[in-house]
Amino acid sequence: MHALPLILILLVIATILAEYASKFRISYPILLVLVGMVISWVPGLKELELPPDVVFLIFLPPLLYAAAWTTNWPDFRASARPITLLAIGCVLFTTTAVAWVAQALIPGFGWAEGFLLGAILSPPDAVAATAGTKGLGIPRRVIAILEGESLVNDATGLTAFRYALAAVLTGAFSLWKASGAFLWVAGGGIAIGLALGYVVRWIHLTTPQRPRLDTSLTLLTPFVSYLLAEELHASGVLSVVATGLFLSRYSGQIFNHSVRITANAVWDVVTYLLNGIVFVFIGLHLPVAAASLQDGQLKDAHIYGAVISATVIVGRILWVFPAAYLPGFLSRRIRAKEGRPDWRLVSLTAWAGMRGVVSLAAALAVPATLANGQPFPFRDLIFFITFCVIFATLVLQGLTLPFLIRWLGIGNAHDDQEVHRARLSVASSAVEYIEENLSYNTLPDEVLALIKSKYEIRIGQLNKRLGQASVPKLDDAQTRAFLHVQLQLLAHERERILALRRSGVLDEEAIRQLDYELDLEEARVQLDLEETE
């Protein structure tokens, strides 16, 4: 079977499986990986090659951009210290731990190959973290830390991978050069991403808002950000993340309701399909990795894969607990500001370190030969161990996350109240605006009564005291007046949302959800208005 028909078949399978994943309350990436493994054993199925450049350029930029766009920036900023400790400290700690275990466990495996394997396996994946924790009721601070870590740590892991690979190829390694390169890779990537974000925001603000064109620009932006940074030898990953975080903060200003509705719908489909292909590919390649080994090596390779997987999982636990408690123990200021971390949330953070597309791409990027033409040492084994760790962390940890959350008694009931408070604040503000700015002298009695009734009912619903309200019938002129006033009130509600965002008193995710509800309401009112005119 050729590649294109197989990819189309995989898309169909991914779409169908997502429905069953939600039905059985299982994270759909896990189900896709398992099904990919089953498909790989179909007789006569041609091996489907996935070049690393395709993963890095086609899959990674849009998936990272989408994850950054939906990241809660205030929580991300408030969690900068734990995110940094995980994204840099934990990645380097895991790389070193894997290198030490691998060179001690595998005969002939040197430190250079060990650090290369550690760099491949060390960064948890943004796509896996976002998809694997969605809908599990995890508190938003934990989600902010996990998603923030997975968005930032790729720069650390891929820089370590680059220099570990150079060490294997040339036999030389310079810590100073690697440290200096990391500073430019990280800092340069962020600077390039922010600069591009300013340019893209200016383009959106100075051009007419057309859903088709604006949505197309949002689809192209992550690729431009990634390629521009990579061309300047900076981190394309961090550039994409910086661009996404920056533009998401201004989405309420640069897009109108029709653009946001269109863009959100398109991006939901794009990320869903890309995620589906990536995770099915992971499942497809695990048996391929096993087949690349000789029969005598396969048994030992399974042992190595199990031990290295345990090292990655345990190493994260050994890092997370001291990193969570030591800063507060050493700093009175941190202790007074944050208190003592809840051990249940720390445990959840330590366990939720799934690997995915970045480790897959890095493993595929290991060359087949050295500069002198000799075979790359242990390439097939590195490939196999990588897929063992992806499988263990994604499937084992992913499947046990819901049980761990229930056992620890973790929930986000408090977080669920954020949306309630946001709706109540906006509706109450609209009622005040009606009373202060609208009068029976400027509007027909029926129009004003219906408007006030609408918002009073909404407040009553939010307070769980819904009453009965009579709805007067309006003629065409009164209907148009009613709809125009609704648009005026929706504009006021958006101003209230901007004030809530600036004040920081409400969760960004709640405000984003409220923005989406107002978009739908404004689209409905605009459609009704067009039908009456």
Q: Do 436 and 384 sit in the same domain of this protein?
A: no
Query: What is the spatial distance between Cα 393 and Cα 129, in angstroms, rounded to a whole number?
Result: 11
Q: Contact 383/52 with Cβ under 8 angstroms? A: no
Question: Locate tokens 């969605």: which residue?
Answer: 134
Boundary-marking domain end, from 366, 392, 411: 411
Q: Contact 79/141 with Cβ under 8 angstroms? A: yes
Q: Do 281 and 393 sit in the same domain of this protein?
A: yes
Q: Do 343 and 435 sit in the same domain of this protein?
A: no
Q: Is the pLDDT of residue 474 over 60?
A: no
Query: What is the spatial distance between Cα 27 and Cα 19, in angstroms, rounded to a whole number?
Result: 11
Query: What is the spatial distance between Cα 314 and Cα 396, in angstroms, rounded to a whole number?
Result: 13
Q: Do 108 and 216 sit in the same domain of this protein?
A: yes
Q: Do 212 and 275 sit in the same domain of this protein?
A: yes
CATH for 258:
1.20.1530.20
Neighbours of 83 (CB within 10 A): 22
34 belongs to a structural domain: no
Q: Do 405 and 489 sit in the same domain of this protein?
A: no
Q: In this predicted model, what pLDDT tens digit does every residue of 196-205 receive, in sequence order? A: 999 999 998 8
Q: Do 446 and 369 sit in the same domain of this protein?
A: no
Q: In this predicted model, what pLDDT tens digit does every residue of 455-469 receive, in sequence order? A: 555 555 444 433 444
How many domains, in total, are found in the chain?
2
Q: Do 90 and 220 sit in the same domain of this protein?
A: yes
Token representation of residue 29: 């990436």
386 belongs to a structural domain: yes
Q: Contact 196/238 with Cβ under 8 angstroms? A: no
Q: In this predicted model, what pLDDT tens digit does every residue of 195-230 receive, in sequence order? A: 999 999 999 888 888 888 888 999 999 999 999 998
The rounded mean pLDDT for the chain is 76
Structural domain containing residue 304: 50-411
> Residue 468: its pLDDT value, please?
41
Q: In this predicted model, what pLDDT tens digit does every residue of 37-46 receive, in sequence order? A: 777 776 656 5
Between 127 and 376, whose confidence is greater?
376
Q: In this predicted model, what pLDDT tens digit does every residue of 379-400 receive, in sequence order? A: 888 888 988 898 888 888 878 8
Q: Do 380 and 444 sit in the same domain of this protein?
A: no
348 belongs to a structural domain: yes
**What pLDDT band is residue 419 in, cutting at 50, 70 and 90?**
low
Q: Do 147 and 253 sit in the same domain of this protein?
A: yes
Q: Do 168 and 263 sit in the same domain of this protein?
A: yes
Top mean pLDDT of 195-199, 298-302, 360-364 is at 195-199
Q: Do 271 and 373 sit in the same domain of this protein?
A: yes
> Residue 464: its pLDDT value, please?
43
> CA nearest 486: which of 515, 450, 513, 510?
450
Secondary structure of residue 210 in the 3-state scheme: coil
207 belongs to a structural domain: yes
Over residues 333-343, mean pLDDT = 77
Query: What is the spatial distance between Cα 394 and Cα 33, in angstroms, rounded to a whole number?
Result: 9
pTM score: 0.73
Looking at the chain, the whole-number percentage of residues with pLDDT higher than 70 is: 70
230 belongs to a structural domain: yes
4 belongs to a structural domain: no
Over residues 279-305, mean pLDDT = 75
Over residues 104-123, mean pLDDT = 89
1 belongs to a structural domain: no
35 belongs to a structural domain: no
